[in-house]
């Protein structure tokens, strides 16, 4: 069969493209994505927990988890926002938030007409409130005006999402009516609980339903109807042997981290639901430093939702740290009161006990706090976040990549040259060199500069990179046309990290050697779904006559799993695009065309489906 080179890069819609500040996951928690039952009988709702767990219920109701999304009420309007005095100009029109009785509207004014959009829901509440309004075909759209809680002011939300990339790459505001600002498509899964989008592919419309606004108890503990039943049957004072509920106290570090990362990660979903406690890489792929929303050294530039930087932490890499060490289940910081440095106990007791010697700052000063230097706060889109890589200050990286450093975040009257001189006087070991060297390789690979390709491959071979840098480099090597990379990828597919293995499997797309086939077939049996799916994508490009009958049976199994993963998001153009690539490789050009054209219907601005559909038409003899 004649094969034509075409766009086959896996698309991470809403994630790899310039990420908006409130986009995290695209998964459904404990729900179904397209056609789902309107009522899920196993879920009893958070209020059912109150009778026995009142203290936790009260903590939850006032938490950012419980209030992740809330209706616009008179109480909300009186307590949470202030009036907007002046109109804001954006996209050729003037906008102003206005309260009328118990309703909130955003007025849109142009020369031709005046239109009011009613805000029905508010998202966020820690730094910012975003507001939703119903528009056509069941869509809930994020309004162009958002409210900054720290400065008590209204602002232009699309403009705030513009990134200032370090390599002079331009960015621009996305229209507030773009699908990336559609709640049903992007930000729903981590703001409401037990949701069904009920997306109709024929009409491209939604009938979205959810059990509760906010992240409820059952998001982490699973459906509790049976739990309530067995506890009531046991009688007061008696504890059933089987509580019929997920008990997070027994979770491993990985289970805790995976559960939190299901929201707090910039990722691509693989399944239609995430059962709490299951392994992250059985349900998600993770965006890493191939994305320009990260500085080359791994620090946050845009909004990345923590998990990628978290995996760069040496503390996390030790396998002995989880999110619950510092945060409660409702998301609160455990060490906000008392002595904050206790967060680093017991592992770093020697430094906590003599903090001035370690930090070179006076005890009880801001600079003596571990988090001031190792988890500095930065801001993007008016969202303030902490750096969870926990790395020490690296002003040399500021000089090289323009990434932030803790020294100059505090000492704003000084520059990075001053800060770099100070830390080099304090620490004779050049602890910055490793990150500088690796960041430089990432920066060059992003630009398609391969003068140091041998070093990049050497670092992969010798596993000098951690799993985040390794994955980033493997993904960036897709632009490196030399055959030198194949041996490194064949070794990386056996890496201990499933994230690295999956990226290597995906990177072998187009390599039809016996070694590649053997490695991918082995990966097809991997314990992690992510690795199996990426192996399936690459194996789908092989001619089927290269496989034995036994190997064909393996392919049938993983191809079925792969197809299932591609239809979990029927409203996602990237899923249909990737499905079209799969059909194309299978020689099913008619189905490929249907998938590419569906992708184009969902997102007309995407050019890749148009190019690949024209190639599929050509394979059918229709080149018009």
User: 500 to each of 52, 217, 268, 490, 505, how far by Cα in Å?
Assistant: 44, 33, 15, 11, 9
- Asked if 303 contacts 22 with a C-beta cutoff of 8 angstroms, the reply is yes
Round the average pLDDT of the chain to a whole number and report it.
Answer: 91
Determine the pLDDT at residue 187.
74
Determine the pLDDT at residue 165.
65
* pLDDT tens, residue by residue, 449-487: 999 999 999 999 988 889 999 999 999 999 999 999 999
Strands 121-124, 103-109: pairing is: unpaired
CA atoms 53, 56, 58, 62: torsion sign: negative
Most confident of 195-199, 231-235, 444-448: 444-448
The confidence band for 35, taking pLDDT boundaries of 50, 70 and 90, is very low
Residue 164: Cβ within 10 Å count: 12
Tokens for 340, please give them.
């904050």
C-alpha closest to that of 376 among 350, 408, 400, 351? 408
Q: Does the pLDDT of residue 34 top 50, yes or no?
A: no
* pLDDT tens, residue by residue, 555-568: 999 999 999 999 99
Q: Does the pLDDT of residue 340 top 60, yes or no?
A: yes
Question: Helix axis angle, 573-585 relative to 529-539, nearest 10°?
Answer: 50
User: 180 to each of 14, 33, 144, 147, how far by Cα in Å?
Assistant: 6, 17, 12, 19
Which of 161-170, 344-353, 584-593 is the least confident region? 161-170
Determine the pLDDT at residue 184.
87
Residue showing tokens 């507030």? 176
* pLDDT tens, residue by residue, 516-540: 999 999 999 999 999 999 999 999 9
Q: Does the pLDDT of residue 36 top 90, yes or no?
A: no
Measured CA angle at 294 (ends 289, 295), to 5 deg:
105
Measured CA angle at 585 (ends 579, 587), to 5 deg:
105
Which of 40-49, 562-571, 604-613 is the least confident region? 40-49
Mean pLDDT of 288-302: 96
Q: Does the pLDDT of residue 100 top 80, yes or no?
A: yes
Determine the pLDDT at residue 364.
87
Q: Does the pLDDT of residue 68 top 80, yes or no?
A: yes
Label each residue of 505-525 as H, E or C: HHHCCCCCCHHHHHHHHHHCC
Classified as helix, coil or strand, 368 is helix
Alpha-helical regions (H) of 303-415: 307-310, 314-317, 349-353, 355-359, 370-374, 395-401, 406-410
Determine the pLDDT at residue 162.
87
The confidence band for 166, taking pLDDT boundaries of 50, 70 and 90, is low
* pLDDT tens, residue by residue, 400-438: 999 999 999 999 999 999 999 999 999 999 999 999 999
Mean pLDDT of 367-389: 95
Label each residue of 98-165 as H, E or C: EEECCEEEEEEECCCCEEEEEECEEEECCCEEEEEEECHHHCEEECCEEEECCCCEEEEHHHHCCCCC
* pLDDT tens, residue by residue, 127-156: 999 999 999 999 999 999 999 999 999 999
Tell me the longest C-alpha to C-alpha distance in the chain: 76
Q: Which residues contact 544 (CB under 8 A, 6 or more apart)?
A: 552, 555
Please name the helix (run of DSSP H) or strand (run of DSSP E) that holds residue 460, with its range, or none.
helix 453-461
**Residue 103 to residue 116: CA distance in whole angstroms:** 11
* pLDDT tens, residue by residue, 246-294: 999 999 999 999 999 999 999 999 999 999 999 999 999 999 999 999 9
Q: What are phi and psi of 176, to 5 degrees?
A: -65, -15
Q: Does the pLDDT of residue 30 top 90, yes or no?
A: no
Q: What are phi and psi of 478, to 5 degrees?
A: -60, -25
**Residue 391 to residue 404: CA distance in whole angstroms:** 12
User: 343 to each of 305, 313, 325, 482, how far by Cα in Å?
Assistant: 21, 15, 8, 47
C-alpha closest to that of 438 among 405, 470, 476, 391? 470
């Amino acid at each position: 069969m004649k094969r034509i080179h075409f766009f086959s890069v896996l698309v991470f819609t809403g994630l790899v493209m310039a990420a908006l500040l409130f986009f995290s996951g695209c998964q459904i928690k404990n729900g179904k994505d397209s056609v789902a039952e309107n009522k899920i009988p196993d879920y009893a709702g958070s209020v059912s927990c109150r009778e026995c767990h009142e203290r936790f219920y009260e903590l939850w109701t006032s938490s950012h988890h419980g209030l992740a999304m809330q209706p616009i009420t008179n109480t909300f309007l009186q307590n949470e926002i202030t009036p907007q005095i002046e109109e804001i100009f954006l996209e050729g029109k003037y906008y102003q938030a206005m309260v009328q009785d118990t309703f909130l509207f955003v007025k849109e004014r142009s020369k031709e007409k005046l239109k009011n959009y009613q805000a029905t829901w508010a998202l966020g509440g820690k730094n910012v409130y975003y507001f939703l309004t119903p528009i056509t075909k069941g869509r809930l759209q994020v309004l162009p005006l958002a409210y900054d809680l720290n400065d008590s002011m209204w602002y232009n939300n699309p403009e705030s999402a513009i990134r200032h990339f370090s390599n002079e790459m331009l960015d621009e505001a996305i229209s507030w009516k773009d699908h990336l600002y559609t709640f049903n498509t992007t930000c729903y899964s981590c703001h409401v609980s037990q949701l069904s989008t009920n997306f109709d592919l024929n009409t491209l419309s939604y009938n979205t339903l959810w059990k509760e606004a906010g992240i409820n108890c059952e998001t982490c503990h699973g459906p509790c109807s049976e739990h309530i039943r067995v506890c009531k049957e046991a009688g007061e004072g008696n504890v059933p042997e089987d509580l019929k509920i997920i008990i997070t106290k027994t979770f491993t570090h990985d289970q805790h981290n995976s559960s939190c990362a299901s929201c707090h990660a910039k990722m691509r979903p693989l399944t239609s639901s995430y059962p709490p406690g299951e392994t992250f890489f059985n349900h998600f792929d993770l965006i890493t430093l191939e994305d320009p929303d990260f500085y080359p050294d791994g620090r946050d530039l845009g909004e990345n939702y923590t998990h990628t930087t978290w995996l760069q932490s040496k503390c996390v890499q030790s396998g002995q740290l989880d999110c619950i060490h510092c945060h409660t289940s409702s998301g609160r910081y455990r060490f906000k009161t008392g002595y904050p440095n206790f967060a680093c106990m017991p592992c770093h007791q020697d430094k906590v006990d003599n903090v001035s010697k370690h930090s070179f700052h006076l005890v009880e000063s801001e600079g003596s706090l571990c988090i001031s230097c190792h988890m500095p706060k930065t801001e993007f889109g008016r969202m303030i976040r902490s750096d969870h890589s926990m790395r020490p200050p690296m002003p040399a990286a500021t000089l090289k990549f323009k990434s932030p450093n803790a020294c100059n975040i505090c000492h704003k009257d000084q520059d990075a040259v001053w800060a770099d001189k100070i830390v080099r006087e304090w620490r004779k070991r050049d602890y910055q060199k490793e990150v500088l060297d690796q960041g430089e390789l990432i920066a060059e690979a992003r630009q398609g500069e391969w003068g140091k390709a041998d070093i990049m491959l050497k670092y992969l071979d010798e596993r000098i990179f951690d799993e985040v840098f390794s994955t980033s480099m493997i993904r960036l090597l897709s632009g490196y046309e030399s055959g030198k990379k194949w041996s490194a990828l064949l070794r990386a597919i056996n890496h201990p990290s499933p994230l690295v293995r999956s990226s290597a499997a995906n990177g072998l797309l187009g390599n039809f050697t016996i070694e590649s086939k053997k490695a991918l077939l082995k990966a097809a049996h991997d314990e992690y779904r992510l690795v199996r799916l990426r192996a399936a994508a690459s194996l789908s490009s092989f001619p089927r006559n290269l496989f034995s009958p036994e190997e064909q049976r393996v392919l049938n199994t993983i191809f079925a799993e792969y197809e299932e993963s591609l239809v979990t998001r029927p409203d996602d153009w990237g899923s249909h695009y990737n499905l079209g690539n799969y059909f194309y490789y299978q020689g099913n050009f008619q189905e490929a065309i249907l998938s590419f054209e569906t992708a184009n219907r969902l997102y007309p601005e995407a050019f890749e489906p148009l190019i690949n559909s024209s190639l599929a038409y050509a394979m059918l003899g229709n080149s018009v």
